[in-house]
Structure 1
C-alpha cells in the first residue's frame, strides 16, 4: 500500500468511527425544571418521568443518551443549530411546531388546568379572568393559547422562563392564576407547602388547535430516521412493560391517555 492509499484508508476508518459514534449516541434536550416530568434532585442529578422514559428509549434503541439541560424556549433553536438531536421535555405535538420540527408519536397526553386561590370559580375563562394576571411559561402551548384567546379578552398574561417561576409568583400574590399541565400543577404546586390554599379550577384546557395530540419527541425537520426509531421504541417499551414501570414511579393513573 502506497502513502496515498494508506492516508485514504485511515481517513475512511476515521469517518466510519465518527459515523458509528454518532449512531451510538443521541443528544437530548431537557428542561429539568418541570416536575414530576423533569427536575433536579437535591444532589443535582436529573430525574423525572421524561428523563426515565428517555433512558428507557435509548436502552431500547441501544444508543447512549447524552442529556443537555436548557430552558424550554431554547429547545427548537438548539435543534436547528444541531446543538441537540432531539427534545424530550413534555413538548406538545402541534401544527404550529410541526412547521419547524418533526415529532415522534406521542408518549403521553394530559390536559391543562388553571390554578387559583381555593374557592375561586372559573366557568368561562374569557369572562371570569378578565383584568386578572395569569402566569404561563414562555413559548409553551399555554403561552400561545393565552396570547390568542385570553389576552384578547382582557386577561393580563405574564410570561416566565419556567413554570416554577409562575408558581412562586402565584403563591406570593403577584399573580391571580396560572395555566399549565394538570399533572405538573398538582404534583409540583398544589400538593406542596407553597400550594396550600390553592386549588385546580375551571374547565380542562385541551383544544387540539393549541395542544395537539399529546407530548412527543421533537427532532429536526426531515429527520425521518429518528422519528421512525423513536416511535418504534415508544411502541416497544409500551409492549414490554418498561413504560408502565416508569409510569408507576410517578403516577397512579395511565398518563398515556386515549
Structure 2
C-alpha cells in the first residue's frame, strides 16, 4: 500500500509539474526579418540578429517563453495593433508620429543614418546642394523618408518595399545614393562589388529618441515589465556581450540631428 501511495504521489507531482510548465507565459514578438544584422531570416528559416538576441535576453530575464514572427515593414505597426503579436523588437526609431500609434520602451541603441553613394560620383559631402538632381533611395516607411523630404527637396526620392532592393539598385547603378542605417549599410559594403562608399556624417532624424521596443497603447504593464528587464540586462553585462558579437563600437552614443547638419 505504501508503494502505491508513493507511486500516486510521484504521478501527482509529474502532473503538477506538467501543469506548471503548460501555464508558463508565452509572449509573441514581431520583427521584420529583413534588416541584417539587426533582424533577418537565416537560410534554415531561423530568425536571427541583434534585435532577436536582445529580445530573447529580455524574455529570459522576465522568465517567459517567447516566439518570433516576421512581418513586412510597411504593415508592422498595424499588425501589432491587430494583435498579431504582443510586442515588436525591430529597430524601430522612436518618433512623435509613431508614439501616436504605439508605446515605446526606453531606447536600446541609437540607429544613426548615413548616405551611401556610388563611387563614380566622387562626392565629397552629402549636403542638399551636393545631392541636387541625384536619385536617392530608401525603404518606404523608414524615418529616412522624412529626412529626405524635409532637407533634400531637389533630389529625386525613390522608395522600396525592402532595403535590400535599394541596395541591389545602387550596386547595379540604378540609384545614385541610398540612405539607411549606417550599421546595416556598413555590414553590406564589404559584401558588395566595391561600387559604393559612405559620404557625409552619420546623423539622427530630428526628434528621434533612439530605437525602441514597441507595444500597443493599452499595454503599459507589459511595456514596464520589458523596460525593467531591458535595464537589468544592460546593468548585468548581458547587453554588452550581445553588442560585442555584432558591433566593435559603442551603439548607445547619440549622433547629431539632421537639422544640425542640413539647415537650409
* TM-score range relative to shorter protein: 0.7 to 0.9
Q: How does 1:24-103 map to 2 (within 5 A)?
A: 24-103=25-104
How many angstroms apart in 1 are the aligned matches of 2:86 and 2:194?
40
**TM-score normalised by structure 1 residue count:** 0.85
How many angstroms apart in 2 are the aligned matches of 1:171 and 1:91?
26
How many angstroms apart in 1 are the aligned matches of 2:137 and 2:222?
34
**Residues 1:144 and 2:143 aligned together:** no
**2:6 equivalent in structure 1:** none
How many angstroms apart in 1 are the aligned matches of 2:147 and 2:27?
32
**TM-score normalised by structure 2 residue count:** 0.83
How many angstroms apart in 2 are the aligned matches of 1:195 and 1:224?
46
**1:241 equivalent in structure 2:** 237
Q: Which of 204, 219, 222 lines up with 1:223 in the alignment?
A: 219
Contact 1:110 1:257 in 2 (8 A): no
224 and 43 in structure 1: CA distance in 2 versus 1, 3 angstrom threshold: same
How many angstroms apart in 2 are the aligned matches of 1:230 and 1:146?
33
Gaps spanning 5+ residues in structure 1: where? 1-16
Tell me the CA shift for residue 195 of structure 1: 4.5
What is the aligned length?
Answer: 233
Tell me the CA shift for residue 148 of structure 1: 3.1
Tell me the CA shift for residue 75 of structure 1: 1.0
**1:156 equivalent in structure 2:** 156
Contact 1:122 1:203 in 2 (8 A): no
Moved >6 Å (runs of 4+): none
Contact 2:140 2:159 in 1 (8 A): yes
Gaps spanning 5+ residues in structure 2: where? 1-18, 255-264
